[in-house]
């Protein structure tokens, strides 16, 4: 870890004002501090935002919920309203990290956590995301946990969050305040694909502070699930995860949301795959067909090709569970 300055922001405006180049906001610190210890991130200054009053969970005028950026992951997952109206979100959060981490981690920090790519973490190795132009260690290297969709020849990292996969499926909106004022970013547009700028994870600009995440009214509470597949039963990042939400009309799918985690640089959604479900009977064959649409461009590497088939199976399983499930699925 390198020396840095530290200051605590008294208000959101103050935080934005202090966010000069080379500084970083610190919320729960569970990702940022690890990366600083590993010498991956070297901010010259930290602006502590953890005490800003952005930790509430409130109703929105549109009938949804506003999750404060500084609400803790655990408090969000166990919020009564989240559990009953957005069970897939609660389940997704609780599938992530450990109880201790979820108690520290904030919603805003979770959105902006960095990839767990081994090379990103090891400064003795090449990584375009950490050091643009140094090459991608994972391509041709150890890539069991890497992307099968939307990757580039510069970077095949995945976004590691569980929470984000559910937020993508729910079409949440990210509220930001920055040097240019306030704006709202549809969730699908927050994270970007690596392309030839893998060092940039999101569309946020320097000094942008996430203030809240808005959940729309529709929570797919009756027919939804979050399925996470990993190398051990807990405390491991997703190899593949699926957030699935259906609206059912008898046995027919009226509307569908499907997002995948662990497969791409961002939570992966595909309107064509969802369209392949809508108006169709809820059968495993239909689910499989939709999965194949979603995975049509999937490409594996030496150690992660299994994810393609695993993702297909996971989608079928998640959709089957969501279709069967009636009522909130409490984790």
Partner 1 sequence: MIAIPSIPGFLTEPNGPIGKPVSRVDGRKKVTGNAHYAAEFTLPDLAHGCIVSSAIARGRITRIDTAAALALPGVIHVFTHENRPSLAWFDRKWKDDDAPKGAPFRPLYDAEIHHALQPVALVVADSFELARYAARLVHIEYEAAPHQTDLRANRANSFTPGKDKGGFQPPPKPRGDPEQAFLASPVRVDAEFTQAAEYHNPMEMHATTVLHHDDGTLTVHDKTQGVQNCHTYICNVFGLAKSAVRVMSPFVGGAFGSGLRPQHQLFMAMLAATQLKRSIRVELSRPQMFSFGHRPETIQRVALGADRDGTLRALIHEAVQESSRNENYVEIVVNWSGQQYACDNVRLDYTLSRLDVHTPLDQRAPGAATGVPALEIAMDELACKLGMDPLDLRLKNYAETDPNTGNPFSSKELRACFRHGAERFGWAKRSPAPRSMRDGRELIGWGMAAGVWDAMQGQAAAKAVLGVDGKLVVSSATADIGTGTYTVMTQIAADVLGLPIEEVTFCLGDSSLPAAPVEGGSWTVSTVGSAVKAVCDRVRSQLIALAGKLENSPLKGVAEEDMVFADSHLIVRNDRSRRLSITEVMRGSGTLSIEEEARALPYLLARARHTFATHSAVFVEVRVDEDLGTVRVARVVSAIAAGRIINPKTARSQIQGAVVWGIGMGLEEEAFTDHRLGRVMNHDYAEYHVPVNADVPEIDVLFVEEHDDMVNALGAKGVGEIGIVGVPAAIANAIHHATGVRVRDFPITLDKVLAGLR
113 touches ligand FAD (CB under 6 A): yes
- Closest approach, Cβ 175 to partner 1, in A, equals 30
Piece of the chain touching ligand FAD by CB under 6 A; list 27-35, 122-130, 273-281, 305-313: 27-35
155 touches ligand SF4 (CB under 6 A): yes
CA distance 225 to 281: 18
- Closest approach, Cβ 89 to partner 1, in A, equals 21
117 touches ligand SF4 (CB under 6 A): yes
Of the candidates 129, 159, 175, 307, which one interacts with ligand SF4 according to CB under 6 A? Answer: 129
Query: Which of the choices ligand FAD, partner 1, ligand SF4, none does residue 301 contact, using the CB cut-off of 5 to 8 A by kind?
Result: none
Tokens of 32: 């940022």
CA distance 91 to 331: 5
Per the CB < 8 A criterion, the answer to whether 6 and 45 are in contact is yes
- Closest approach, Cβ 310 to partner 1, in A, equals 6
CA distance 172 to 224: 16
- Closest approach, Cβ 294 to ligand FAD, in A, equals 21
Cα 192 to Cα 125, 250, 290, distances in angstroms? 24, 37, 24
Query: Which of the choices ligand FAD, partner 1, ligand SF4, none does residue 120 contact, using the CB cut-off of 5 to 8 A by kind?
Result: ligand SF4
Residues that bind partner 1 (CB under 8 A): 1-3, 38-39, 116, 118-119, 121-122, 124-125, 137, 140-142, 144-145, 229, 231-237, 239, 306, 309-310, 313-314, 316-317
Subset of 57-86 contacting ligand FAD (CB under 6 A):
69, 73
Tokens of 119: 């090379």
DSSP 239-299: SEEEEEEEEEETTEEEEEEEEEESSSSS-EE-HHHHHTTTTSB--HHHHHHHHHHHTTT--
110 touches ligand FAD (CB under 6 A): yes
30 touches ligand FAD (CB under 6 A): yes
Subset of 165-204 contacting ligand SF4 (CB under 6 A):
198
Query: Please, which residues bridge with residue 30 across strands?
Result: none
Query: Please, which residues bridge with residue 67 across strands?
Result: 57, 213
Q: Provide the greatest CA pair distance for the chain.
A: 61
261 touches ligand SF4 (CB under 6 A): no
- Position of minimal CB gap to ligand FAD: 109
Which stretch of DSSP H or E encloses residue 215? strand 209-215
């Amino acid at each position: 870890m390198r020396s840095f300055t530290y200051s605590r922001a008294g208000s959101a405006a103050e935080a934005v004002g202090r966010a000069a180049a080379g500084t970083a906001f610190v919320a729960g610190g569970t990702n940022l501090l690890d990366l600083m210890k590993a010498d991956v991130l070297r901010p010259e200054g930290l602006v502590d935002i953890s005490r800003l009053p952005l930790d509430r969970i409130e109703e929105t005028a549109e009938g949804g919920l506003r999750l404060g950026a500084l609400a803790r992951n655990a408090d969000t997952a166990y919020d009564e309203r989240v559990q009953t109206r957005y069970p897939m979100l609660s389940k997704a959060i609780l599938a992530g990290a450990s109880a201790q981490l979820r108690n520290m981690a904030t919603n805003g920090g979770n959105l902006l956590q960095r990839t767990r790519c081994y090379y990103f973490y090891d400064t003795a190795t090449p990584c375009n995301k950490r050091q643009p132009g140094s090459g991608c260690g994972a391509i041709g290297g150890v890539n069991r946990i890497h992307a099968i969709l939307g990757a580039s020849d510069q970077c095949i990292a995945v976004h590691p969050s569980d929470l984000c996969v559910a937020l993508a499926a729910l079409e949440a909106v990210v509220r930001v305040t920055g040097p240019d004022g306030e704006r709202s970013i549809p969730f699908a547009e927050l994270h970007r694909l690596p392309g030839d700028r893998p060092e940039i994870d999101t569309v946020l600009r320097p000094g942008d502070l996430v203030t809240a995440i808005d959940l729309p009214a529709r929570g797919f509470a009756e027919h939804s699930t979050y399925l996470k597949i990993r190398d051990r039963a807990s405390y491991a990042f997703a190899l593949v995860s699926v957030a699935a939400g259906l609206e059912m009309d008898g046995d027919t799918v009226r509307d569908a949301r499907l997002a995948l985690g662990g497969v791409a640089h961002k939570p992966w959604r595909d309107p064509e795959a969802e369209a392949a479900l809508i108006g169709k009977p809820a059968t495993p064959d239909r689910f499989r067909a939709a999965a194949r649409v979603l995975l049509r461009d999937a490409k594996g590497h030496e150690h992660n090709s299994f994810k393609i088939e695993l993702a297909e199976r996971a989608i079928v399983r998640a959709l089957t569970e969501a279709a069967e499930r009636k009522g909130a699925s409490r984790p």
